[in-house]
């Protein structure tokens, strides 16, 4: 939506609906852009965060539902996604989901049930949990990334086999098939077609 008009000259003592970025914070955003999201989260429904170029951000235009046709959802370090993200992520064209502990399996590594879910405790996901989330939101394509170094990550045959197993686990959990599930590699480039034009 177009930004609201610039703030009118103040003629009363009422609080301004516009919040300006203080210079130190503006400088910090260059290396820590996530600070902007934290500021937006603190806005009241009637407040706007005014950027130097005149763009006004408010909760309505920062967190509104995406428009149809194509939707890309990126899930960074996560051990379960919020209800709010789930609502926004529904029917995503492309879900990019971290799978740091890709092939973790409690019984395979001999961990007893009372230890808890180690990946979740560390704030990360597995290929299976990423696949479960992909199925929950009904995404069309799942790309897994952010793997632990234990899975290699180089061009060796062993790394390729590991990533093949990662994809198979995620396919089983997500119900997606073939190239609809991809274990990402450095430099991967993918088109994001409209829902009805995905031919992978």
The per-residue pLDDT for range 62-120, each reduced to its tens digit, is: 766 555 678 999 998 877 666 667 788 999 999 999 998 888 764 444 433 333 455 56
How much is the pTM? 0.61
| Confidence at residue 111, expressed as pLDDT on a 0 to 100 scale | 35
Q: Where do we find the tokens 């808890």?
A: 116
22 exposed, middle or buried (CB, 10 Å; 0-12, 13-18, 19+)?
Answer: exposed
Q: How far apart are CA 28 and CA 35, in angstroms?
A: 8
Beta-strand relationship, 56-57 and 48-50: antiparallel
* Per-residue pLDDT at 112: 36
Q: Using alpha carbons, select from 93, 3, 15 the residue that is nearest to residue 54.
A: 3
Sign (positive or negative) of CA dihedral 87, 92, 98, 101: positive
Element housing 29 (H / E): none
* pLDDT at site 40: 83
The neighbouring-strand residues paired with 18 are 48
pLDDT reported for residue 114: 37
């Amino acid at each position: 939506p177009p930004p609201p008009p610039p703030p009118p000259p103040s003629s009363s003592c009422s609080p301004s609906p516009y919040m300006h970025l203080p210079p130190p914070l503006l400088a910090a955003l260059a290396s820590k852009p996530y600070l902007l999201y934290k500021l937006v989260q603190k806005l009241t429904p009637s407040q706007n965060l005014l950027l130097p170029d005149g763009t006004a951000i408010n909760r309505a235009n920062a967190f509104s539902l995406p428009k149809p046709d194509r939707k890309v959802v990126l899930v960074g370090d996560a051990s379960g996604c919020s209800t709010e993200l789930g609502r926004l992520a529904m029917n995503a064209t492309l879900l990019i989901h971290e799978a740091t502990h890709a092939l973790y399996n409690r019984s395979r590594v001999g961990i007893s049930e009372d230890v808890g879910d180690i990946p979740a405790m560390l704030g990360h996901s597995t290929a299976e949990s990423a696949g479960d989330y992909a199925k929950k939101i009904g995404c069309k394509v799942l790309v897994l990334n952010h793997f632990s170094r234990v899975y290699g990550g180089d061009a060796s045959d062993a790394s390729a086999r590991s990533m093949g197993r990662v994809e198979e686990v995620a396919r089983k959990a997500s119900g997606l098939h073939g190239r609809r599930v991809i274990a990402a590699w450095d430099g991967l480039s993918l088109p994001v077609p409209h829902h009805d034009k995905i031919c992978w």
